């Protein structure tokens, strides 16, 4: 039995060639190894989950030292929680790697999308923009009307306007696992995943 997900990092996109010569666009993910740092249960925490640690570091603060010392002598930069198949078979200090996944299965990948900064309506919401000719100037990428006059006399909530874009928590579901490199702890999934190079992502089994 094992956990239903692992922590990893985005390594970039490439192509994967099958034996018949066909190719598929894939994303390379550096996955684990992850160590069990805490096992939560209904009696003490009100729910069941497994806390995993990823990417060892040399120093952490005193509270983290006390917490992580229960699972061994390693300190981790990232701690995240996942569900598990059977919690009775999991112990503190257990290590899981990319081998928990299987080729051909579907996974959900959660990460933080690339931040785009302050953007206008055309880029942020695919607005059409204004006329480019017939005497128009300075209105080419304007949002247009943002509401009525004295009734209601305000801009209603949820109006799509210019603002900060990107940097959101995004989950891409049902990505196919194309190839697993156990030796280098790398996972190849079909398609793209959220985030920039080396950004943190969570890979969870779809079922």
For 86-122, how does the pLDDT look when each residue is reduced to its tens digit (9 = 90+)? 778 888 988 999 999 999 999 999 999 999 999 999 9
0.85 surpassed by pTM: yes
Residue 86, pLDDT score: 75
Summarize the confidence of residues 158-185 as an average pLDDT: 95
45 pLDDT above the threshold of 70: yes
For residue 177, CA distances in Å to 42, 101, 105 come to 33, 8, 6
Helices then strands (H, E): number in the chain?
3, 12
pLDDT category of residue 72 using cuts at 50, 70 and 90: confident
CATH 2.40.30.10 positions along the chain are 5-114+167-205
What is the architecture of the domain spanning 5-114+167-205? Beta Barrel (2.40)
What is the side-by-side order of every strand in the sheet holding 95-96? 75-82, 49-57, 34-40, 95-96
């Amino acid at each position: 039995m094992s956990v239903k997900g692992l922590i990893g990092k985005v390594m970039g996109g490439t192509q994967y060639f099958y034996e018949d010569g066909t190719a598929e666009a894939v994303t390379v993910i550096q996955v684990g190894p992850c160590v069990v740092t805490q096992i939560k249960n209904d009696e003490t925490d009100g729910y069941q989950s497994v806390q995993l640690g990823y990417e060892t570091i040399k120093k952490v603060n005193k509270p983290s030292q006390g917490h992580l010392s229960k699972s061994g002598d390693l300190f981790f930069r990232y701690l995240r929680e996942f569900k598990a198949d059977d919690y009775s078979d999991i112990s503190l200090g257990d290590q899981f790697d990319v081998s928990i996944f299987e080729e051909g299965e579907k996974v959900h990948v959660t990460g933080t999308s690339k931040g785009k900064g302050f953007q206008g309506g055309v880029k942020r919401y695919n607005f059409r923009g204004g006329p480019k000719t017939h005497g128009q100037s300075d209105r080419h990428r304007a949002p247009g009307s943002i509401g009525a006059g004295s009734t209601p006399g305000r801009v209603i909530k949820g109006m799509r306007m210019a603002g900060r874009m990107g940097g959101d928590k995004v989950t891409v579901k049902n990505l196919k696992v194309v190839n697993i490199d156990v030796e280098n702890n790398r996972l190849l999934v079909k398609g793209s995943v959220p985030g920039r190079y080396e950004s943190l992502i969570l890979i969870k089994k779809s079922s």
